[in-house]
Structure 1
Amino acid sequence: MNRKNEDRVQWVYSSKNNSELSERYDEWAKDYDKDLSEFFGWIAPNTASSYLAKYVNPDSTVLDAGAGTGLVGLALAERGFRNLTAMDLSEGMLQEAREKNVYKKLDQMILGDPLRYKTDSFDAVISVGVMTLGHAGPNSFNELLRITKPEGYIVFTIRTDVYLKNGFKEKQEEMESQKLWEVVDVSDEFHPLPIGEPEVLHQVWVYRVLN
């Protein structure tokens, strides 16, 4: 793999705060899709979208939380989903997503902060490649739960090591014990970046919101 592209990923992940993270994604936005496809073989958007489609009707309202350039939106559109909203912290990434013409609405917000959506706004939320180091932390689930309707679904990918070591396992189990959501599906471990980072393993989690 091109060393420049590997360094760019580490450069983004080493951002010290959300402002710096946004600026770095803005700079990467134009080349992001090409780099992720050519140098990393990024398959997580398609994998996660297939799981959401198992449980959610295509007519449903779906938030793509941390939408980036809209690769998840494209994968969902291919499965018949049309009521899609994109949310991301980077305006540059959202501009790339806008040009894909698969979202009805695009909003610049930060996952982990209070979101400007009303409670019970969406039938489902999907978040791919966002629950990870230097990005959204475990407490991001609080707002995703709030904006998802009862009996709606929250689908996300997470690195296996991050799940075990960075508070996600504890947070997810706490929310289960509080009867806030219930797990309905978990994928086997898979390689989301088989070309660029074949050692990295992800899983897709599917939760149903209870109240």
Structure 2
Amino acid sequence: MSKKTDTVHWVYSSQDNQELAERYDVWAKEYEQDLLPENYTGPEPAVEVLLKYLSKEAKILDAGAGTGLVGQVLHQRGYGNLEAMDISAGMLEEARKKNVYIALHQGILGKPLALATDTFDGIVSVGTFTLGHAPSSGFDELIRITKPGGYIIFTIRPDYYQNSDFKDKQAALEAAGKWTLVEKGEPFANLPEAEPDIYLQVWAYKVC
């Protein structure tokens, strides 16, 4: 097992939010160095979906922004009204250096967020709703801070969706009139070289 793989497993084995944040703080400076040579594809499929629903002027929150890779792609596509949120101060510091976000917020998905109701036209979250990271309950606050008619676009592993409470939670929110599914993408390999058997899927919901 490589040092890189060891690091990923070490981070994903965190026992609580504090430990997760601390481990991401440690990994922050080498995060992109570790991921990008493996042809990390996470941001692009989510951004392609976002382009269909949100204008270049839209106020967008990158939830679970990490080092800002999604924001960087959005900025390259002409989006400038971007804010970032992450559990890790170290990751946010790396995101700040990209100069693509107008504001940075430290917050924990699944807990109350210090952000006003109906603030964002859209939210994008790549690689955050996954094992040992953001729980399905995190959707409640994302819906609260998204304007009615806005969009929440996120990735999740299809196998994790099926075998966790995400399937029921997403359906329950739709049944309750909180959001409406507008698009579900085809599964794609997130790290095709390092983890060719691990797939992500993009989901897009319109907030009611």
TM-score (norm 1): 0.97
For 2:146 and 2:40, locate their aligned partners in 1 and report how far apart those are by CA, in whole Å: 27
Alignment-derived partner of residue 73 in structure 1: 71
Alignment-derived partner of residue 30 in structure 2: 31
What is the CA distance between 1:166 and its match in structure 2? 1.0
Matched residue count: 208
For 2:176 and 2:90, locate their aligned partners in 1 and report how far apart those are by CA, in whole Å: 38
Alignment counterpart, residue 94 of structure 2, candidates 78, 96, 103: 96
Matched, 1:151 2:149: yes
Q: Matches of residues 57-206 of structure 1 in structure 2 within 5 Å?
A: 57-206=55-204
What is the CA distance between 1:42 and its match in structure 2? 1.2
What is the CA distance between 1:35 and its match in structure 2? 0.7
Which 5+ residue runs of structure 1 have no aligned equivalent? none
Matched, 1:13 2:12: yes
What is the CA distance between 1:34 and its match in structure 2? 1.3
For 2:77 and 2:184, locate their aligned partners in 1 and report how far apart those are by CA, in whole Å: 20
What is the CA distance between 1:58 and its match in structure 2? 0.9
Q: Secondary structure at the match of 2:198?
A: coil
Moved over 2 A (4+): none
Specify the code of the residue in structure 2 equivalent to 1:17. Answer: D
Identity, % of aligned positions: 52
For 2:106 and 2:178, locate their aligned partners in 1 and report how far apart those are by CA, in whole Å: 27
Which 5+ residue runs of structure 2 have no aligned equivalent? none
What is the CA distance between 1:135 and its match in structure 2? 0.3
CA shift digits 1:84-108 (9 cap, x unpaired): 0000010110000000000000011
What is the CA distance between 1:52 and its match in structure 2? 0.6
Specify the code of the residue in structure 1 equivalent to 2:207. Answer: V
Could you say what the CA RMSD is over the residues aligned between the two structures, in angstroms?
0.8
For 1:100 and 1:113, locate their aligned partners in 2 and report how far apart those are by CA, in whole Å: 27
For 1:70 and 1:46, locate their aligned partners in 2 and report how far apart those are by CA, in whole Å: 13
TM-score (norm 2): 0.98
Q: Secondary structure at the match of 2:149?
A: strand
Q: Secondary structure at the match of 2:79?
A: coil
For 1:51 and 1:189, locate their aligned partners in 2 and report how far apart those are by CA, in whole Å: 13
